[in-house]
Structure 1
Amino acid sequence: MMRCLAGLVICTLLAAWVLSGVRADEPVVRDEAVLARQATMRSAKAALGVLFEMSALRRHFDRDTAREARAVLLAALAEIPARFEKPYMDRHSRSRPGIWENRAEFLRRAIAARQAARGVRTVNLPALRRSLPGMMAACLACHDRFREPR
């Protein structure tokens, strides 16, 4: 009887713990700096997504839309060094501590990504296709070093 009761209590506590968990798409913290960092990275990702979709012919190439996406990408990348000044981690963060432990390398990679974004050409589809791989490589180089995989 005691074993059944103990098992029931454990199962109830486990279920309560699992069901009370925070969803992955909800912000865990209310720290303004962290929320701004997340918003900046989402903005860069969305802009890069538009350019990639055009390059892959998943979206019709539109010069003005491509230019706008490039401008958004450049603005987001310009903010990254400032957004990662505060060394804050939460349980859903994918940032590695190396961002703050090796700040000089992180800044070099952030600058390289911004330079690659400046090199993205949006005049026509062939130019976009030629210039986008350098941008993707710059993002991946930083993420490989400073971001935890899923």
Structure 2
Amino acid sequence: MSCCTPATWSSRAQQHGFAAIAAIFLVVVLAAMGAYMVTFSNTQQLTSAQDLQGSRAYWAARAGLEWGIGAVAPQASATATCPSSPQALPATGTFDGGFTVVVTCTMTSFNEASATANVKLFQFTAVASSGGSVGSAGFVERSLSAALEK
């Protein structure tokens, strides 16, 4: 009968409610961990999407370079000229994925020391971009350059 004596009542009263405090602490910690995991998951998904968009921008810029080189390469060396520069591709609208490609071409003529013919050097730069303005979450841009000698 020692459980019901007044001396044991006071010690039991002091211990009462500890489980509730521990449960609240555990719920708060688990909620914080859940919020962190959601944030981490969203960041990972955004990073993965940006990586995919970066790859698409690279290939769009490469297509722009190929277009520019393809416009100059078939021309005769003596009469070869750059296409109008800068040239936005496509002429109307955007490529799939919302990409716009701007291709610039510069031509430099020079004579080699012993050669009688002019040599023309074409420098192409293609910039592909998508997703709004610089600094926005979905913005992606890639720039590629190439040279062609005729």
TM-score range, shorter chain: 0.3 to 0.5
> Which structure: greater strand fraction?
2
Q: Which protein has greater RCO, CA pairs closer than 8 Å, 6+ apart?
A: 1
> Which structure: greater helix fraction?
1
Instruction: Find the structure with the greater CA-based Rg.
Output: 2
Taking structure 1 as the reference length, the TM-score comes to: 0.34
